Every structure is written in structure tokens, then in C-alpha cells.
């Protein structure tokens, strides 16, 4: 096996691509479940931890009859907060990107702009920033994600489904990449 990429042969790269593919489908669901669990340590001032919030959002999506990809988007839309708050939507969207539709990717990426309706006035930002996306194919789903599943998901008395109950959806979505880039 090469020690410098410039020396790699086609055979070696085919082997590496196959190994990456095996890792991707076997590791991703477990990594996502473990990452979601770590959200319980992030409180950041809300009435629920970020895990509690994510479970409520996922539960609301599930109870509305959403697809696996949509439930997983609701469950994972704030996963980026494990690494960075200001761009957490974009981080979560990139984590989801190989596994979900383009519309879901964009809705997760821009969910903070849609949430702005509820609090941007307090931060000196445009609460209707979502309007610049009005003509996008994903606008309606972004409204559903934010207005129906994300924004109402801060009630500590809400009986959300437990994290383990989402393992089937997480496994189905994160075991099935639509694209593979080594």
C-alpha cells in the first residue's frame, strides 16, 4: 500500500474506495446515535437540553406521518451544535447530505433563517429572512421542519419518544448513502 498519494495505483484506490464504502454504511448509524446522546450535555439556556429538544422534534415529525428522511432531519437538525453554534445548521446539513434529498439538505442548512421569525427581532436581525427562499423547492418543507417540529419542541413536559426508538430510522437512512466520495 502506498505511503504517498502520488504513488497510488488503481488497484490500491479501488481497495480504499471499497473499504470506505464498508465503513460508511457500518459506522455512520452508530456515530449518529452516539452524537445525538452527547447533545444531552448542551443546555444553552432553553427549557430542554439539546437532546430533549431533538427527541421532541423527531417525535413531532414521526407523529405527523413524516418519512424516515424527514424524521431523521428533525432529529438531527441541531447536531452541528456539538461543534459550533453559529453555523450548526450547515454542519448538520453536511452530515445528512449523502443520505437525504436535496430539499431536506437545504431545509436543514437554512433552518436558522426560518427560525428567525421567532427571535431575530431581539437580535437586531430580519425576522423574515426566510422570504428570500420563497421560490425554492424546499421552502415548504423548511417551514414544516421549523414551524411544526423545531420551534414547538422545547416543552420539558412533552413525552418524547426515547433516543433508542429512533435507531431504526437512523439506521435505515444512514446505511443508505446516495453518493460516495472517498
Residues in contact with Fe ion, total (CB under 5 A)?
Answer: 2
CA 123, 49, 170, 158 dihedral sign is: negative
Q: Which is nearer to Fe ion, 79 or 170 (CB)?
A: 79
Q: Which is nearer to Fe ion, 76 or 173 (CB)?
A: 76
Q: Map grid coordinates 474506495 to a residue.
A: 17
Q: Which is nearer to Fe ion, 70 or 78 (CB)?
A: 78
> Nearest distance from residue 9's CB to Fe ion, in Å?
46
> Nearest distance from residue 8's CB to Fe ion, in Å?
42
Question: Could you give the maximum distance between any two Cα atoms of the chain, in Å?
Answer: 59
> Nearest distance from residue 149's CB to Fe ion, in Å?
9
Q: Which is nearer to Fe ion, 53 or 139 (CB)?
A: 53
Q: Which is nearer to Fe ion, 69 or 78 (CB)?
A: 78
- CA 89 to chain centroid: 8
What angle in degrees, to the nearest 10, is found between the helix axes of 68-76 and 167-174?
100
Site for Fe ion in 129-158 (CB under 5 A): 150
Q: How many residues does the chain have?
A: 182
CA atoms within 13 Å, Cβ hemisphere of 14: 3
- CA 8 to chain centroid: 35
**Residue 25 grid cell:** 454504511
> Nearest distance from residue 74's CB to Fe ion, in Å?
9
> Nearest distance from residue 79's CB to Fe ion, in Å?
10
Site for Fe ion in 70-109 (CB under 5 A): 78
The residue ranges that bind Fe ion (CB under 5 A) are: 78, 150
Amino acid at each position: 500500500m502506498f505511503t504517498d498519494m502520488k504513488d497510488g495505483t488503481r488497484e490500491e484506490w479501488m481497495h480504499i474506495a471499497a473499504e470506505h464504502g464498508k465503513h460508511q454504511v457500518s459506522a455512520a448509524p452508530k456515530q449518529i446515535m452516539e452524537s445525538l446522546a452527547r447533545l444531552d450535555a448542551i443546555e444553552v439556556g432553553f427549557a430542554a437540553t439539546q437532546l430533549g429538544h431533538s427527541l421532541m422534534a423527531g417525535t413531532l415529525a414521526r407523529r405527523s406521518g413524516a418519512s424516515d428522511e424527514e424524521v431523521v432531519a428533525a432529529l438531527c437538525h441541531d447536531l452541528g451544535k456539538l461543534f459550533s453554534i453559529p453555523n450548526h445548521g450547515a454542519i448538520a446539513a453536511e452530515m445528512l447530505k449523502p443520505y437525504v434529498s436535496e430539499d431536506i439538505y437545504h431545509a436543514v442548512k437554512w433552518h436558522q433563517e426560518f427560525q428567525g421569525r421567532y427571535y431575530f427581532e431581539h437580535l437586531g436581525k430580519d425576522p423574515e429572512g426566510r422570504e428570500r427562499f420563497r421560490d425554492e423547492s424546499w421552502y415548504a418543507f423548511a417551514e414544516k421542519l421549523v414551524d411544526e417540529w423545531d420551534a414547538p419542541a422545547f416543552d420539558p413536559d412533552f413525552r418524547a419518544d426515547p433516543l433508542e426508538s429512533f435507531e431504526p430510522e437512523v439506521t435505515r437512512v444512514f446505511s443508505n448513502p446516495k453518493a460516495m466520495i472517498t
